[in-house]
Amino acid sequence: MTRHIAIQAALSLLSLLLVSILVFWLVDLLPGDAAERVLGQDATTEGLAVLREQFGLNHSALARYLAWISGLLRGDLGTSMIAGQPVANYVAGRVQNSAILAAFALVLYVPVSLALALLTAVYRGTAVDVGLTVFVLLGMCIPEFVIAIFLVSLFAVTLNLFPALALLDTAQGFGDLVRMLFLPVLTLTAAMSAYSVRLMRESLIQILDSDYIQLARLKGLPNWRIMGWHALPNALGPALNVLALNIAWLIGSIVLVETVFNFDGLGRLLVNSIRYKDTPVIQAIVMLLCAVYVLANLLADVSIMALNPKLRTRR
Amino acid sequence: MEPVLKGISRRRLLLSSAAIAGSVAVLGSSGNASAAASRVLRLASGESDGPTGTMDPAFNKIDADAARISLVYERLIILDKNFEPQPQLAQSWSSNEKGDVWTIELKPGISFHNGKPLTAADVVYTYRRLIDPKTASPVATTFGELTPEGIEAVDDKTVRFTLKSPVVEFPSLIANRFTYIVPEGSTAEELRTRGQGTGPFKVQEFVPGREPSVFVRNEAYWREGLPKVDRVELRAIADTSARLSALLTGQIDLSWDVPRVGLQALQAAPNLTVVTVPSPYVMSLTLMVDVPPFNDVRVRQAMKLVVDRQRMIDLVLGGLGKPASDQPVASWVQYGLDEPAPARDVAKAKQLLAEAGHPDGIDVELYTSEATAGFLEMAALYQAMAAEAGIRVAINKVPGDGYFANVWRKVPFLCTSKGARNADEALSQFYLSNAAWNDTHWKSEEFDGLIAEARQTLDTAKRAELYRKAQRLLRDDGGVIVPMFANSVGAHRKDLTGFEIHPQKNAQDFSQISIGG
């Protein structure tokens, strides 16, 4: 098992390296350069020359990549071209903000999707199942930003229950913070509950049809006990796998949600950095997000092994 | 594909909102999203702000920069809504007979935020810095007539500008977004985030890329009784729906950048006032006149004739615009050409195309994007209008990001927009033969001559006639289709007074605003 984890970890590192090359190359392929992006419609030849010199754009892409990666190995993320300050300080505050948002979303998402999966599995084939499934299919067709705008127009503009924008700096106390995060978190949860409910429903149905559950029923155990004691723990494995997959959803959705709610996090910073082709910042954020994703998968792998007695035993 | 469960959150929400409402009550939070203090003014710009943000007037670029800079600094001369020069820090100005020596007197009793009195030396420093190649300010090209030795302090309150050649419109020329006066000796590094100005507000906190930018009242402001708010917080809210929601829910007090279409929600909101003013903001389609078939003036005229201008305004701008006549100077702007916009004439357009050797019409490719609100609609509508005259337009929609860097001036036919400018700038910056931004490649010696002559004609009536002649020439021969000018539109809370939206997005005046009576 340790060996397996070591191999997985090495593969993860290799894929991160490949991602860094790929992202650098793709950003470089985008038309225009940072100097043109910054000056926009007001670009003059002289102005462009000055900025290109300042941004170090006169070196080849390969030289710039090697400089970046060697810096990274020394623990130096480089300097944002546009902001002119070290990327590390520049990104740190946003990492924290996005982490708060993601944490809230995860906390909400796990019980919500489990409960729903359980409902559709237990009431399989009934009106409850059909109704919820239709709901799911409908929800699937609606992109996050539409959901976000819908939630804002309903709960912020019409009912005035929650603020429309998550302006964290205006929060006075924890209560305010919760109220501000409520709508963005709700949107994220909606996006994440994506296909996890369906996947968990399938695995729950398998479990519910299995011999040991039948036996428990024959023994006359109460329903809540069968569910809580026998079915759910066994469904957790697949749920963890889905969770790891969902981290990808979460990362994708955060970008959209932060834009709609004017939330000062990584996603918005990434969008802005891409707008300006601020390569060091793009690299730092993408690497971080990929690392989170890779790590989540690694952890899911390990915990599934830990949860599964068959994989744990050494024969 | 697995179905996605999104609906459930809405269902779950009813449970959670009750729970959260409970927790909020327990935590004793206000539960109210509006500002705590009534004397805080919260502004939102529409264009996104970010690490490029600055408060250095020499690099005033985005809307948020312009707002920050206009809160903190002031100019000698500003332009009113008709683009006529008005004094701000200047007491008066005068020129010699020829118009190549200008003398500007400063108002007395004005100080910078640090208490240092404003003198002619600060003005000299500011202007020399702007034209210094080492500064690399985009305004340097506009100030080709200025030399460092030609900018001098006659005495403490008098500045003299000696130009290489006459510029009779000098007061308008220096009333641009870059010429805010900074104290002598200010470094670029100081000016970027903590500059000292003479303006109504002092910067309290500005970190590029971090929101909000915070400004506090300048207690020693030279205009009696102003400003009327204690604190200004500026954010950039680029997402349109987010900006509107923030206005509707009272998280923002004022935005001077509101989409022209879909204003109904704002107009119907009991807590908001929508403000609008005609602006010479140009919405246009640009043709390169050296690329066939646009190299035949009859084709260009046919392409202008197919436009139904009022319909364009109604459908693209929600009615909030003014018809234009294929040149960038609006009729109400100083020196504007007050002649009715060309009427739509499909038959004549067909005839012109036939004369140009295209009896079966022409096929053209029009580039558009979401770079400016209304581009997509303008392109689609033009396509429909042109089709009737046999001009078959294929629309090529490209990404909005980097549109002006990667597409503008690189393709022969595309949607363009140009910020509100005065007559001379609007004509010269894009249509002179040697203009750096000549996006139509139109070169007319006659036009160049008219502009040069107008700039040296002291008699106002004669000068106006020369500018008007230049406009007619551009309208009839040039490579730009300007169907309309788009109004400036803003919105603010009902109990906010003292704000008049300016047609130039970068020239808003926040100094007289008061909130709550």
> Measured between alpha carbons, how far is residue B484 from residues A284, B80, B203, B346, B470 in Å?
44, 21, 38, 19, 19
The single residue listed with the structure tokens 């008005």 is: B86
- Cα(B111)–Cα(B216) distance, rounded to whole angstroms? 16
What are the pLDDT digits (tens) for B336-393? 999 998 899 999 999 999 999 999 999 999 999 988 889 999 999 999 999 999 999 9
- Cα(B49)–Cα(B63) distance, rounded to whole angstroms? 8
Interface contact flag, A165 B237, Cβ < 8 Å: yes
Contact residues, A window 157-216, toward B, CB-based 8 Å cutoff = 157, 160-165, 167, 169-170, 172-176, 178-179, 182, 186-187, 189-191, 193-199
pLDDT of residue B67: 97
Long-range contacts of the stretch A108-113 (C-beta < 8 A, 24+): A108/A185, A108/A186, A108/A189, A108/B16, A109/A188, A109/A189, A109/A192, A109/A193, A109/A196, A109/A246, A110/A239, A110/A243, A112/A189, A112/A193, A112/B8, A112/B9, A112/B12, A113/A192, A113/A193, A113/A196, A113/A197, A113/A200, A113/A239, A113/B5
Closest CB to A169: pick one of B10, B212, B238: B212
* SS3 call for A208: helix
pLDDT of residue B362: 96
Task: Tell me the β-bridge partners of B78.
Answer: B86
pLDDT of residue B38: 55
**CA-based torsion, B431, B435, B439, B442: positive or negative:** positive
Interface test with B, best of A29, A33, A38, A42 (most B CBs within 10 A): A42
Residues shown for chain B: 517
**CA-based torsion, A70, A76, A80, A85: positive or negative:** negative
- Cα(B245)–Cα(B266) distance, rounded to whole angstroms? 10
B227 preceded by a cis bond (ω within 30 of 0): yes
Interface contact flag, B245 A164, Cβ < 8 Å: yes
Residues of A in contact with B2 (CB under 8 A): 194-195, 198-199
pLDDT of residue B26: 34
Q: Give the gap in angstroms from C-alpha B252 to the nearest C-alpha of chain A.
A: 10
Residues of A in contact with B133 (CB under 8 A): 46
What are the pLDDT digits (tens) for A291-311? 888 888 888 777 777 766 666
pLDDT of residue A192: 76
CB B396: neighbour CB atoms within 10 A?
15
- Which among B85, B73, B86, B152 is positioned nearest to B118, based on CA atoms? B73
Say which residue, A145 or B414, is predicted with more confidence: B414
- Cα(B455)–Cα(B441) distance, rounded to whole angstroms? 22
Instruction: Please tell me which residue of chain A has the smallest CA distance to B208.
Output: A83
pLDDT of residue B71: 97
**Residue B55 contacts residue B65 (beta carbons within 8 Å):** yes
Express as a percent the part of chain A with pLDDT over 70.
Answer: 94
**Residue B139 contacts residue B130 (beta carbons within 8 Å):** yes
Across A19-33, A40-54, A235-249, B61-75, which has the greatest mean pLDDT?
B61-75
Task: Tell me the β-bridge partners of B274.
Answer: B491
Task: Say yes or no: B436 contacts chain A, CB-CB below 8 A.
Answer: yes
Q: Which stretches does DSSP call E strand in B330-473?
A: 362-368, 391-397, 413-418
- Which among A239, A1, A250 is positioned nearest to A102, based on CA atoms? A250
Interface contact flag, A179 B6, Cβ < 8 Å: no
Residues of A in contact with B51 (CB under 8 A): 80, 82-85, 90, 272, 276, 278
Q: How far is CA B412 from the centre of its chain?
A: 25
Task: Say yes or no: A2 contacts chain B, CB-CB below 8 A.
Answer: no
Task: Return the amino acid letter for B190.
Answer: E
pLDDT of residue B80: 93
Task: Say yes or no: A43 contacts chain B, CB-CB below 8 A.
Answer: yes
Closest CB to A165: pick one of B4, B48, B245: B245
**Residue B331 contacts residue B416 (beta carbons within 8 Å):** no
What are the pLDDT digits (tens) for A59-115? 888 888 988 888 888 888 888 887 778 888 888 888 988 998 988 888 888 788 888
Res. A46: pLDDT tops 80? no
Q: Give the gap in angstroms from C-alpha B404 to the nearest C-alpha of chain A.
A: 5
pLDDT of residue B7: 36
pLDDT of residue A205: 85
Task: Say yes or no: B248 contacts chain A, CB-CB below 8 A.
Answer: yes
**Residue B81 contacts residue B149 (beta carbons within 8 Å):** no
The single residue listed with the structure tokens 């830990």 is: A306
Q: Chains A, B: CB contacts under 8 A, how many?
A: 214
Task: Tell me the β-bridge partners of B417.
Answer: B283
Which residues of chain B register pLDDT less than 70? 1-38, 517
Interface contact flag, A136 B31, Cβ < 8 Å: no
Interface contact flag, A165 B28, Cβ < 8 Å: no
Considering only the C-alpha atoms of chain A, give the largest distance between any 2 of them, rounded to a whole number of Å.
85
pLDDT of residue B12: 36
Please list, in sequence order, all residues whose beta carbon lies within 8 angstroms of the beta carbon of residue B381, skipping any fewer than 6 positions away: B311, B312, B315, B316
pLDDT of residue B517: 60
Task: Return the amino acid letter for B35.
Answer: A
* SS3 call for B396: strand
Considering only the C-alpha atoms of chain B, give the largest distance between any 2 of them, rounded to a whole number of Å.
81
Res. A230: pLDDT tops 80? no
pLDDT of residue B4: 34
pLDDT of residue B100: 92
Half-sphere exposure of residue B302, counting CA atoms within 13 Å on the CB side?
Answer: 29
pLDDT of residue A310: 65
Instruction: Please tell me which residue of chain A has the smallest CA distance to B134.
Output: A50
